Amino acid sequence: MTATVLFVTFVAMLLGAVPIAVALGLAGTIAIIMAVETPLAVATNVYTCIAKYPLIAIPMFVLVGSVFDRTGVALRLVRFATALVGAGRGALATVSVLVAMVIGGISGSGPATSAAVGQVVTGSMLKDGYPPSFIASTVAAAAATDILIPPSIAFIIYALLVPSVSVPAIFAAGMFPGILAGLAIIVPILVISWLKDFGGKARNSEGLSVWRTFKEAFWGLLAPVVILGGMRFGAFTPTEAAVMAVFYGLFIGFFIYGTLSLRDVYEMLVESGELSAIILIVVALASVFAWATNTLGIVQPIANAIVGLGLGEYGTLALLMIALIIIGMFLDGVSTFLILVPILLPVAKTYGWDLVWFGVILTMKVAIGQFTPPLAVNLMVSCKIASTSMESTIPWVFWMIIAMFMALAMVVVFPGIALWLPHVLGY
Amino acid sequence: MSSTELASGPADRDPIELKLEGLAPVRGPQIEGTHSSPIPLKVEAVAMAAAMAAIALITGANVVTRYLTNISLAFTEEFSVALMVIATLLGTSFALARGHHIAIGYFVERFHLRGRVIAEIVGLALVVVGFGITAAYGAWLTWDEYRFDVLSPGMELPQWWLTGCLPLLSLLVIVRGVERMVARSRLIRS
């Protein structure tokens, strides 16, 4: 009974456009009051749940994204990559994917990468003869690799929810699946570009020299090395690695590229403060919801019901895949994880799945949901930049979804793609 | 200041708008309105920027001292965590005033303007109720910690200094929520 009230009020509020954080908090509070627990727990929960040191990594990685967004690293990476691969059919589209992957190694959220890459490549792709709907599809799909390639805010949240998984371990585990996903979406992009003759139309190529563009892009390429290398050698915790990247980005922006002013610094602090608050308040209030589901003992019955369907290991995975992609179309990755991971963990334990691998699989599903119309978060951003409708992207984005599905299937069948790197690094 | 431009969606390419757009399919019903308040939004913006900068500087200092000296600044973790909690509530209030919180606007967007405004007012009322509960019980918790002289685990400062921020900043969120509700109800009346 209480469980029904909990879910019905939650879903009703969600559909009525009540902020997700408040919908989670209020539904949880109502359930707690109905179960005659003291609501004092609400306040304590809200406080203790975000007052955790590992969570500081979130505002700091958001700040890293803001800093690098303004330094102009993305633009220089595009120039370097263009100098490398030239300007043939599908070349610039491939460049966008590669650049999105490198930016993914700096920033931690898909939509942010979508915005960063989209703003840089859309103009030149239009000139080079790509239709806007294809550009939007490419950028959205490429940016989806971002939540797999470390650092990733989705992974930090997953590690928070699953105590036995450490942030560095799941960061390492996301690396190869992320690269695989990126390479997978390049395949349909190239095939479509060849068949439809997209790209290679821009007449006056600037004649970019590989060496000159490399010298400029070098500083940007070094950023993921600073972040991941620092964590790898145990020099920094994830939070410290983020802060080092912030200072590194400021150094590049002020002294190398000269693209930043003090005004920018203030603006990026406000921007990242607001963005991280929007994420963290969901984390805080979701704890009330999770606490309610836990004390009411709803989680285990749901998990038992899923296992009780008797679909077997792969059948259950397929079911979760479909459910997560549908949910991923409506919700951002952070909220999806906060609501679903507590329910799915007992399922994973029943089948004895490796929890690091399971986190990567879940994140890949969320990533696919991020560019699956009609409610894809990344596609929303890239369509807005390319001034096109989401419906028009369907014929292109369909193939990219299939490609990323193939990558996901490979990680499901060969868990080593995810687990080899954390194993070798000794996490 | 009293101009009531009605735009059904932001058409600008403000980077923050784009990123927020991406955080959630649509963030609530998007209706542009004017924001006028006795407490300028700059209060949240400046305080939040200061807190974010302080977290970065403290963490940076921690790394530097760890590698260059023997001094351990580990106790500063507690300070950073407190700053993060404060920044989160300030940012919540800031984002609420700007209508930037994550919400599924997909269904509400199908309504007419009047319907969208009413949905937003109902949503804001629920935000006010939610943070009202947080503020009330937060105050209760603060009072308990004050009475029993609870000290923070790391720096052994009175814990209620920090806990007290929770109800105080929740009140700020409530103020922003009510302000926006008033502005919105004016919209449908006019």
CA A202, A206, A208, A212 torsion: positive or negative? Answer: negative
Burial class (CB in 10 A: 0-12, 13-18, 19+), A234: exposed
Q: Determine if the peptide bond prior to A151 is cis (ω within 30°).
A: yes
Q: What is the pLDDT of residues A220-257, one digit of tens each?
A: 898 888 888 878 776 788 888 899 999 999 999 999 99
Q: Is the pLDDT of residue B176 over 60?
A: yes
Q: Is the pLDDT of residue B2 over 70?
A: no
The first and second tokens of residue A101, run together, are 């992957």
CB A115 within 8 A of CB A147: no
B22 touches chain A (CB under 8 A): yes
Task: Please indicate whether, in this complex, the C-beta atoms of B45 and A270 are within 8 angstroms of each other.
Answer: yes
Task: Please indicate whether, in this complex, the C-beta atoms of B91 and A330 are within 8 angstroms of each other.
Answer: no
Residues of chain A with pLDDT under 70: 36-43, 203-207, 234
d(CA A130, CA A94): 12
CB B104 within 8 A of CB A330: yes
CB B62 within 8 A of CB B76: yes
User: What pTM, to 2 d.p., does this model score?
Assistant: 0.87
Q: What is the pLDDT of residues A292-340, one digit of tens each?
A: 888 888 888 888 888 888 888 889 888 888 888 778 777 777 888 888 8
Distance between alpha carbon A302 and the CA centroid of its chain, in Å? 27
Output the pLDDT for position B77.
Answer: 83
Distance between alpha carbon A389 and the CA centroid of its chain, in Å? 23
Taking alpha carbons only, the member of B102, B25, B15 closest to residue A376 is B25
Number of helical H runs and strand E runs in chain B: 6, 0
The first and second tokens of residue A48, run together, are 């203790």
The one-letter amino acid code at A228 reads L
- Across residues B18-40, what is the average pLDDT? 51
d(CA B20, CA A374): 17
d(CA A408, CA A127): 34
CB A95 within 8 A of CB A121: yes
Number of helical H runs and strand E runs in chain A: 20, 0
CB A259 within 8 A of CB A80: no
Task: Please indicate whether, in this complex, the C-beta atoms of A275 and B19 are within 8 angstroms of each other.
Answer: yes
Interface test with B, best of A11, A44, A270, A289 (most B CBs within 10 A): A270
Task: Point out the residue among A50, A59, A110 whose CB comes nearest to the CB of B55.
Answer: A59
Secondary structure letter of residue A147 according to DSSP:
G
Q: What is the pLDDT of residues B85-116, one digit of tens each?
A: 999 999 999 999 988 888 877 788 888 888 88
- Whether the complex's predicted ipTM surpasses the cut of 0.90: no
The one-letter amino acid code at B78 reads E
Report H helices in B24-164.
42-68, 76-97, 113-147, 159-163
Distance from CA of A65 to the nearest CA of B (A): 11
Cβ under 8 Å to A: B residues 83-112: 84-85, 87-92, 94-96, 98, 100-108
Output the pLDDT for position A313.
Answer: 85
Task: Point out the residue among B91, B127, B129 whose CB comes nearest to the CB of A274.
Answer: B91
d(CA A166, CA A156): 9
A245 touches chain B (CB under 8 A): no
Q: List Cα–Cα distances, A110 to A230, A380, B90, in angstroms.
A: 23, 11, 25
Task: Please indicate whether, in this complex, the C-beta atoms of A19 and B15 are within 8 angstroms of each other.
Answer: no
The first and second tokens of residue A405, run together, are 């599905």
Taking alpha carbons only, the member of B87, B80, B176, B157 closest to residue A56 is B80
CB A382 within 8 A of CB A139: yes
- The string of DSSP letters for A43-103 reads HHHHHHHH--GGGGHHHHHHHHHHHHHHHTHHHHHHHHHHHHH-SSTTHHHHHHHHHHHHH
CB B63 within 8 A of CB A236: yes
Report H helices in A370-415.
377-386, 394-413
Secondary structure letter of residue B104 according to DSSP:
B
Q: Determine if the peptide bond prior to A374 is cis (ω within 30°).
A: yes
Q: What is the pLDDT of residues A127-147, one digit of tens each?
A: 888 999 999 999 999 999 998
CB A289 within 8 A of CB A24: yes
Taking alpha carbons only, the member of A118, A50, A60, A130 closest to residue A89 is A130
Distance between alpha carbon A386 and the CA centroid of its chain, in Å? 21
Beta bridge partners of B151: B158
